[in-house]
Amino acid sequence: MCGIAGFVDSRHAIDQPSTLLQAMQACLVHRGPDGSGVLWHNHDSIGLAHTRLSVIDTSTAGHQPMVSASARYAMVLNGEVYNAPTLANELKESGVTFRGHSDTEVVLEAIDAWGLHKALQRFAGMFAMAIHDRTERCLYLIRDRLGIKPLHYAWIGGEAHGVFAFASELKAILKVPGFERQMDERALAGFFSHGCVTGCDCIWRGVSKVSPGHWVRVALTDGATSTYCYWDALEIAANGVQNPLRATDPEAEQQLDDLLRQVMGEHLQSDVPLAAFLSGGVDSAAVASLAAAATVAPLRAFTVGFDDPAFDERPAARSTAAALGLQWMECQATQSDLLACVSELSNIFDEPFADASQIPTLVVSRLMRTHATVALSGDGGDEVFGGYHRHVHAAGGWNTARSMPHSLRHLIAGGVHLLSRHGWDALLSSMRPLLPNSLRLNQAGDRVYKWAAMLQSGSEREAYGQVTAICHDVAWLHAGRLNGASWWNDNAAARLPDFLRRLQFMDQTGYLVDDVLVKVDRASMAASLEVRVPLLDHRVVEFAWSLPARMKVRGGRGKWLLRQVLRRHVPESVMAQPKRGFSVPLEKWLRGPLRSWAGDLVSSSAIRHDAMLDAMHVQRLWNDFCHGQRGATNALWCVVMYAAWKQSWNPSK
Residue 393 pLDDT grade (very low, low, confident, very high; cuts 50, 70, 90): confident
For 547-573, the pLDDT digits (tens) are: 999 999 998 889 999 999 988 887 777
Where in 333-473 does DSSP place strands (E)?
374-376
Q: Note the pLDDT of residue 29.
A: 96
Contact present, 142 and 108 (Cβ < 8 Å): no
CA dist 271 and 373 (Å) reads 10
Domain ranges of the chain: 2-231, 248-385+502-575, 585-653
pLDDT value at 579 more than 60 = no
User: Please, what sign has the CA dihedral across residues 413, 417, 421, 425?
Assistant: negative
Candidate from 80-89, 112-121, 475-484, 582-591 with smallest mean pLDDT: 475-484
Range list of H helices, 185-327? 185-194, 233-242, 249-267, 282-294, 314-324
For 142-156, the pLDDT digits (tens) are: 999 999 999 999 999
Architecture of the domain delimited by 248-385+502-575: 3-Layer(aba) Sandwich (3.40)
For 241-263, the pLDDT digits (tens) are: 999 999 999 999 999 999 999 99
Taking the mean position of all CA atoms in its chain, how far away is CA 113? 32
Q: Note the pLDDT of residue 648.
A: 92
Specify which residues 613 forms β-bridges with.
477
DSSP 293-361: HH-SSPPEEEEEE-S-TTT--HHHHHHHHHHHT-EEEEEE--HHHHHHHHTTHHHHHSS----TTHHHH
Residue 473 pLDDT grade (very low, low, confident, very high; cuts 50, 70, 90): low
Q: Note the pLDDT of residue 183.
A: 92
Tell the CATH topology of 2-231.
Glutamine Phosphoribosylpyrophosphate, subunit 1, domain 1 (3.60.20)
Q: Note the pLDDT of residue 438.
A: 57
For 284-325, the pLDDT digits (tens) are: 989 999 999 888 778 999 988 877 777 778 888 888 888 888
DSSP 587-619: HHHHHTTTHHHHHHHHTSHHHHT-TTB-HHHHH
Residue in 229, 239, 121 with CA at minimum distance from that of residue 544: 239
User: Please, what sign has the CA dihedral across residues 319, 324, 327, 329?
Assistant: negative
For 356-381, the pLDDT digits (tens) are: 999 989 989 998 999 999 999 999 99
Q: Note the pLDDT of residue 374.
A: 94
306 or 520, greater pLDDT: 520
Collapsing DSSP states into helix, strand and coil, what is residue 229? strand
409 or 3, greater pLDDT: 3
Mean pLDDT of the chain: 89
Residue 439 pLDDT grade (very low, low, confident, very high; cuts 50, 70, 90): low
Q: Note the pLDDT of residue 483.
A: 65
Residue 435 pLDDT grade (very low, low, confident, very high; cuts 50, 70, 90): low
Residue 392 pLDDT grade (very low, low, confident, very high; cuts 50, 70, 90): confident
Q: Note the pLDDT of residue 44.
A: 94
Count of H helices and E strands in the chain? Answer: 31, 17
**How many C-beta atoms surround the C-beta of residue 267 within 10 A?**
25
pLDDT value at 396 more than 80 = no
Q: Distances in Å between the alpha carbon of 489 and those of 49, 496, 502?
A: 36, 11, 9
- What percent of the chain shows pLDDT beyond 70? 93
Over residues 519-528, mean pLDDT = 96
Candidate from 18-22, 205-209, 291-295, 315-319 with smallest mean pLDDT: 315-319
Element containing residue 439 per DSSP (H, E): none
Over residues 121-135, mean pLDDT = 97
